[in-house]
Chain A
């Protein structure tokens, strides 16, 4: 005999458990209704009708027990059909029971059994779904009683209360479960990333760094290999230290950018929110083998809107480009951070264009609290005095003027310092807005 071991079933979610509660309620309510009808059906205007209604309720209970245990049987159409059947059976009291009974002398045929679809509506539609179903049931009760008595009003108020409260509770439970699931996924992804990061650090990165060093020493064709190895090392390191993709928002400026001039390899996701500046005195006591964080710290207290400028600029690191910054995040409003990063990239592209692909460049980020200063320096031939002014006068400053425009749009200033043989230095100073000032420091 072939025994197939069944895979371990995941534990049922909150929604399944809530639907099971509806089924239990329906069966218990059916038992109660059965006792009431069996005790009283002889006094009905149509005793056979009473028994038929009870049979119908039992059949419907069985049907819904099966339906509610499937995914398809937990949707609006089923809930609405359920509600319709319950209302019909309730209103049938008018015909089955005597005039006195149906007009307040006795309970309706269905009593509390009709509340089951309301619980279903509460699970599917939250407090509003519960309230809507309660309204329908209330209307059914008024039709059956053919009057609005104090009793009916009391029942309807209770129905509304039960419908909205259970809807609200169901919604809370389901959302809580979704958040927990998301957090668990994120944790698993982070763990896996850390495991990979350790493995890659121990092997691939070391070898790439070594290839870079040896290749540079050998020179010639090997130097090109060395450069590629170095760039891949930086890119790979960025990739394993970046936040999980689910959290990272790709910076718009980067996506719109044409192919990088320096061939910097795959660009790691760079956008991430900013961690708080709280570093305590125990700062120096680091955990062994804690993976480098690369600015991927997420602040939890609602300031997730801030972007860390360092993280946006980190992908620019290469064998030719050095990026210096503080060890703590440099937070700016996301659009402003992206604009500033785009201006820095334009400056780096400019270095390649004017100083050649072999020129080195240094990006330096300073956080002065009230303003953020970014300078981009290169070791190229520099620009002769007066040529910048002349170019500006002729209106062909191109990239430089577009950079200046970007920085001016941010409320900042840009200065260019250069002399022949001294390289060129572009300094951008951008003030922080009132909102941003709260993030810094």
Chain B
């Protein structure tokens, strides 16, 4: 059983998702309709997995993701968002979210994704793989050398995921274990989040925020 919190500003959606997770044997310990409430309630309810919509009133899902993970680093955030919000999805992943699922995903996909997120696995959609790969290429093309580059294998894995291959199919093609493929994917996220923290610190120093 996974303790889940559902953050979405639409009540019909919250109820539908909560029911699906409940039927699958998980416990929805809290819901929130905006980013502010999400951060407050998460501190009290201590969910293992936060299902996070990105377009929220008052405080964005990206912001709330960062705040929730800062308060409780053991929590996992799974972004459940509509397609076409690429910038926000990438920002949420940089802020620490470990997975992304489109809202049109089926119930089975949703339940499986929540379970995998609770185990600490990354949940990658093809879209997210494309975004992450693109982001590493953008960083590599820029003057910034603080980003740890992706290994050839990691690039290979991300490209396959972006083309819609499942982790199992990737493992078969590359003759690797399923676990190893998962680790490669996770490493890319870890590197991206690390780079984001370095960027944040650098930004703070440039702005003179470290002196206050």
Contact = CB atoms under 8 A, between A and B. Distances in A.
Given A281-B203, A324-B130, A364-B159, 20 more contacts: A213-B103, A281-B202, A283-B91, A284-B200, A286-B63, A286-B88, A288-B35, A289-B57, A290-B60, A317-B83, A319-B104, A322-B126, A322-B164, A323-B127, A324-B163, A325-B130, A364-B130, A364-B162, A366-B159, A369-B141
Interface in A287-308: 287-290, 292-294
Contacts of A404: none
A408 interface: no
Contacts of B142: 441
A16 to B, nearest CB: 45
Contact of A289 (B60, B129, B203): B60
Contacts of A322: 125-127, 164
A317 B104 CA distance: 12
A230 interface: yes
Interface in A179-218: 201-203, 205-207, 209-210, 212-214, 216-217
27 contacts: A213-B16, A214-B16, A230-B104, A237-B82, A237-B83, A237-B84, A279-B138, A281-B199, A283-B91, A284-B62, A284-B199, A284-B200, A288-B35, A292-B55, A292-B86, A319-B104, A324-B131, A326-B133, A326-B138, A327-B87, A327-B131, A328-B138, A364-B163, A366-B133, A366-B134, A367-B137, A377-B163
B212 interface: no
Contacts of A328: 134, 138
B84 A284 contact: no
B16 A210 contact: yes
Contact of B59 (A212, A241, A288): A288
Contacts of B164: 322, 360-362, 377, 379
Interface in B157-176: 159, 162-165
A375 interface: yes
A425 B90 contact: no
A326 B134 contact: yes
A5 B138 CA distance: 60
Interface of A: 201-203, 205-207, 209-210, 212-214, 216-217, 230, 233-234, 237-238, 241, 277, 279-290, 292-294, 314, 317, 319, 322-328, 360-362, 364-369, 375, 377, 379, 425, 441
B63 A209 contact: no
B56 A288 contact: yes
B207 to A, nearest CB: 9
B9 interface: yes
Interface residues of B, number: 56
A366 B158 CA distance: 12
Nearest to B36: A288
Nearest to A368: B137
A290 B164 CA distance: 29
B137 A292 contact: no
Contacts of B206: 281
A324 B129 contact: yes
B82 A425 contact: no
A228 to B, nearest CB: 12
Interface of B is mostly: helix
B153 interface: no
A330 to B, nearest CB: 9
Interface in B14-69: 16, 35, 55-60, 62-63, 66
B16 A314 contact: no
B119 interface: no
A207 B130 contact: no
A288 B62 CA distance: 9
Contacts of B156: none
A286 B165 CA distance: 31
B107 interface: yes
B7 interface: no
Contacts of A210: 12-13, 16
A213 B83 contact: no
Nearest to B13: A206
A327 B137 CA distance: 11
B196 interface: yes
Given A285-B63, A288-B59, A326 B84 contact: no
Contacts of B200: 281, 284
B86 A375 contact: no
A286 B126 contact: no
Given A290-B60, A317-B83, A364-B163, A326 B131 contact: yes
Nearest to B136: A326
B10 A202 contact: yes
A361 B165 CA distance: 11
B65 to A, nearest CB: 10
Contacts of A234: 83-84
A324 B55 CA distance: 20
B94 A284 contact: yes
Q: Closest 5 A-B residue pairs measured CB to CB? A: A326-B134, A324-B130, A362-B164, A281-B203, A206-B10
B95 interface: yes
